[in-house]
Structure 1
Amino acid sequence: MEILQVFLELKTPQGFRSELIELDEEIVLTPPPDDGHEAAFSLLSRHFTDKAAIDLDLSGDKGLTTPHGRFIPDGTVSPVGHFKDAEPWSSAEGVLLVFEITGTDPRRDREPKRLGYAAADVPCYLLVDRSEKWVTLFTSPENGDYSVLTKVEFGGSIDLPAPFSFTLDTAPLR
């Protein structure tokens, strides 16, 4: 049986989420997030809904298909109504930005997911790396990876490009 078929038939325990990382031929079950993760999610949610130059939708558990697997980003930012009537697993086409907040295995967020989002041409990938205390904005996907990255330590500020057009203050992440 192919790993995709196993993944699609998986009975995920309540409160967990499952993701398929095809680069590693790995099915990952992620437990509910801790309070630090939720605080970071809340901060980013407020910024994208309150400070962005345009109205946006932010999804907390949207399943995205990429050339490298099926991922559920911590946050998916898209134009208003983009996922209206969408299937649980949707193409990443049209997504403006995804963000991940590292948890128990930050390696997955740093590499396989980054490469998956870049291969799907998601314009921006924002990584909140809690173990390293850095925020990295990856932009300009090309040839299966992002060609531009901006990295700041927690406490610094990072400018998000249009259509977001705001400065993210990372001080509250300390």
Structure 2
Amino acid sequence: MGHFAGLGEWADPAGVLMAVEVTSHDSGTDRRDRVEKRDGYAQAGIPVYLLIDRDANTFVVHSDPHDGTYTQTVPHPYGATVQLPDPVGITLETEKLKDYAL
């Protein structure tokens, strides 16, 4: 806790284990959430990017960044139980995501 306290708007991402995004329902979602943010997090070396994709009712685990690109991208349906890769290393239960699917 407090890793970025007092470091300003553009802090070094060292120490960040995972970024999580939920897609919005606007026209820029495809470019912004599925491409630009994913690529930015990979370029910053953030180990895991979890994208909850409300359009597809899936969650996508991007991991293993190398040369500015995630080398592993695995989609999962809502309801799946998934072991997130290290350094996060937790089991993610997603059954409740079904309650929010439109």
Output the CA distance in 1 between the equivalents of 2:69 and 2:87: 21
TM-score (norm 1): 0.51
Measured at CA, do residues 143 and 164 of structure 1 come closer, stay the same or move farther in structure 2, by a change above 3 Å?
closer
Output the CA distance in 2 between the equivalents of 1:157 and 1:139: 17
Higher RCO, Cα 8 Å, sep 6+: 2
Code of the residue aligned with 1:148 in structure 2: it is Q
Code of the residue aligned with 1:119 in structure 2: it is Q
Code of the residue aligned with 1:169 in structure 2: it is E
1:85 aligns with 2:9: no
Output the CA distance in 2 between the equivalents of 1:147 and 1:167: 21
Q: Secondary structure at the match of 2:5?
A: coil
Partner of 1:125: 49
Cα deviation code 1:117-151 (max 9, x no counterpart): 10111111000001111111111101221001222
Partner of 2:93: 169
Q: How many residues align?
A: 95
Partner of 1:115: 39
1:158 aligns with 2:82: yes
Bigger radius of gyration, 1 or 2?
Answer: 1
Structure 2 stretches lacking a partner, 5+ long = none
Output the CA distance in 1 between the equivalents of 2:12 and 2:64: 19
C-alpha RMSD of the superposition: 1.5
Structure 1 stretches lacking a partner, 5+ long = 1-79
Code of the residue aligned with 2:50 in structure 1: it is L
1:101 aligns with 2:22: yes
Output the CA distance in 2 between the equivalents of 1:119 and 1:168: 25
Identity of aligned residues (%): 37
TM-score (norm 2): 0.82
Partner of 1:148: 72
